[in-house]
Amino acid sequence: MQSLIGLGLVLTVLVIFVGSVVAMTAGYSRTPRGPQSGTLDTSDELVDAHTIESEGSDDEPGHSDAEVVADLPIKAARSDSDRFRDLQRFYQLLDRLAITSGGPRTLGVADGRLIWPERGVYFFFEPNEHRSGSGTGLRVVRVGTHGLKSGSRSTLWGRLSQHRGSSSGGNHRGSVFRLLVGLAIQSRDPHLVVQTWSKGASATREVTDGERELEKRVSAHIGQMRVVWLPVDDEPGPESLRGLIERGSIALLSGYRYPAIDPPSKDWLGRHCPKEKIRRSGLWNSNHVDEEFDPIFLDIMELFVPDGSSQASSYKPVAAPAPVPRAASARTASGNTGRIIDTLRRRPDLDDDELSRLSGVKPRQQVNIICRRLEQEGVLKRFTGASGKIVNRLVNESAVGRPAAVTALASSPVGLPSPPSLPLQKAASLDPRGSGTLIIIPCAGRKTAGSAPAKSKGSLLDDLPADLAARLQSARRRVAEAARIDETTLMPAWRRYNGTLYQSAFSGSVDVEERDWFSHLLILSGGYGVVRATDLIGTYDLAMEEGRWPRGLLQEVISAYARRHGLKRAIALVSETTGYAKILQKVDWRSAGIDEAFLLVPEASTGAMVKAPRAIGEALLPVVECGWEPSWQSSDGLRLLARRLG
């Protein structure tokens, strides 16, 4: 009798699952509403090749991402149950990402003053577009990244701001996302048709004036979407993991080849788009929607997602046809990590390509990520071998998976390339007291208006070689227009900046300028590049973007300043996932005469947009007056983690 009941339950589950697939297929096959011909040309040729080919990396016209992420193997079709489990895992990772980053942010109210990683992958959620097959909550409607060409200097926020536009318009010729949304709006609302839309890589003022109303509609539609981003700060080029994650995510989410597990709603704007791939895929993407995917991209994606397991999940997945396998921890010597260690045990001093081939861990980028993490944990050493390539050698297998307190790495964003952590006993002696230490902090988006009486103490330019000072001054002039610098009123930089960091650090500090260490406090500035804290500056509105400055200039300025004053130690207090940290990691500290350079970063947390700068501000005076202590915590309970630079 029990066996009959069990058989009945199995048949019931099977019928429900098959029925759900049939229902999804039926929902997917709805005919898009709205005109598909007439005043709007619906042929694929409507979208210029130079624009549509940039989809995926979507900021590089004429570049096919197929070659960028060619290392990702294209696998045979996965079963419905496999896709179901992969999709659930994908959303579980996004849930963890949202928790640790403070939740999805509405694009229309975001700006460059927020703390953005320099590079990453972004995921858009559209209002009223809900998951219906894999769980609850909003579904992802677009995935993208930026800067996949070698040498590209584009940033994550730069790309998102192109998509966002403004309340007064935008530029669809610089954003495939805007172009596609505009096509759909025109198809739904024929009175908004603009014949010049998507024509040409540039346009005259007369043409853009005629497109302005539609651009405003596009900005309003995209601006209401919410976005989550995955920080992946790898270098642009053929081996970028960002391109691999983007491509796999799109192929997994797409309903182009198979019935969508989470089909678009009947009112989704994309159903009006004349591009077949948009309508059928259910995504605002046109590249990769017709491809198979290798689920290995989820393993790589997980390496970059901080662990948010201690917090409740907002996603409520429905029961899967089979149990969702728990991903192997990246911090144990099992799975791919174990295979890499076993291979190095047999054959030391292998480069990443050789290690990938001999261990069977694919793609090569995953080997690189795992080896860099193992180096941070003290398991292996990476150094330049006889062939000139970076090789890997085991040095301490017992450190595999050891508690991160040993290396002060516990709460750092997993997978982010960062300087090696500092052992606690060494870090505890980090003491900047005296005049021989360079202190560096970031600027702030919020500024104090007006002027403040101050005795001029010269400027940073006076401390630089004449030719370097001239180059910095020239670069500042080029940035001034974009920054909207107003120098009709002047104020010392440390007083001008009025964000959370500065309020926490200097509130009530009337004599701070008289202290020895203050004379060598530098600020990385979005409008001025680098300034001394005492430099008189005006007001401006521009986030720090290294790409706006000549390559290597900011690092050269920092080095020259340190050499000029004979400084032997440098301490920088910045958030690890920001462009400020990236700038500092590129400084040649040895050539600057610096014997020891350290990065102090707040540990990852929810609400980091406020908590991280507050932690830096609260830590500044204790660090420079008394030295850094591993046990120190901010008022929000955040510790500072020490990294060695150079």
| Cβ proximity of 92 and 137 under 8 Å | no
Residue range(s) defining the domain that contains residue 376? 335-406
Mark which of 372, 406, 440 sits at the end of a domain: 406
Statement to judge: residues 371 and 452 lie in one domain: no
Q: Residue 309: inside a domain, yes or no?
A: no
Residues 535, 152: Cα–Cα separation, whole Å:
32
**d(Cα 392, Cα 165) in Å, to the nearest integer?**
45
Considering the domain boundaries, does residue 345 fall inside one? yes
d(CA 341, CA 332): 11
**pLDDT value at residue 326:** 31
User: Is 442 contained in some domain?
Assistant: yes
> Which pLDDT value is given to residue 470?
95
Are 446 and 522 in a shared domain?
Answer: yes
- 446 and 350 share one domain: no
**Are 72 and 122 in a shared domain?**
yes
**Residue 573, in any domain of the structure:** yes
Pick the closest to residue 331 from 381, 363, 377, 394 (CA basis): 377
In sequence order, which ranges of 224-363 are alpha helices (DSSP H)?
Answer: 241-253, 276-281, 296-303, 335-346, 352-359
CATH label of the domain that carries residue 350: 1.10.10.10
Q: Is residue 33 part of a domain?
A: no
Whether 356 is covered by a domain: the verdict is yes
| Residue 400 pLDDT | 55
The whole-number pLDDT of residue 275 equals: 95
- State the residue for tokens 């200039």: 553
**Residue 98 corresponds to which amino acid?**
A
Same domain for 381 and 499? Answer: no
Judgement on whether residues 287 and 339 belong to the same structural domain of the protein: no
What number of other Cβ atoms are within 10 A of residue 629's Cβ? Answer: 16
- Which DSSP helix (H) or strand (E) runs through 52? helix 49-52
Residue 325 lies in a domain: no
Length of the chain (residues):
646
Residues 175 and 236 in one domain: yes
Do 111 and 203 lie in one domain? The reply is yes
Q: Last residue of some domain: 406, 421, 443?
A: 406
pLDDT along the chain (646 residues), means of 10: 43 41 37 34 34 40 36 56 91 86 80 82 95 91 91 90 90 94 95 91 90 94 94 81 93 93 95 96 94 86 67 34 32 66 86 85 79 82 84 76 33 33 40 70 91 78 95 94 91 92 77 82 96 94 89 96 93 88 92 91 80 89 76 83 84
Residues 349 and 246 in one domain: no
390 and 437 together in one domain:
no
User: What is the rounded distance in angstroms from the CA atom of residue 582 to the CA atom of residue 589?
Assistant: 14
The residue to which tokens 């295979």 are assigned? 339
Query: What's the total number of domains in the chain?
Result: 3
Contacts of residue 68, Cβ cutoff 8 Å, sequence gap at least 6: 56, 57, 148, 149, 238, 240, 243
Q: Model pTM greater than 0.75? A: no
Let me know whether 489 and 564 are in one domain. Answer: yes
Query: What pLDDT is stored for residue 334 in this prediction?
Result: 54
Same structural domain for residues 385 and 483?
Answer: no
Structural domain includes residue 14 = no
Cα separation of 90 and 297, whole Å?
10
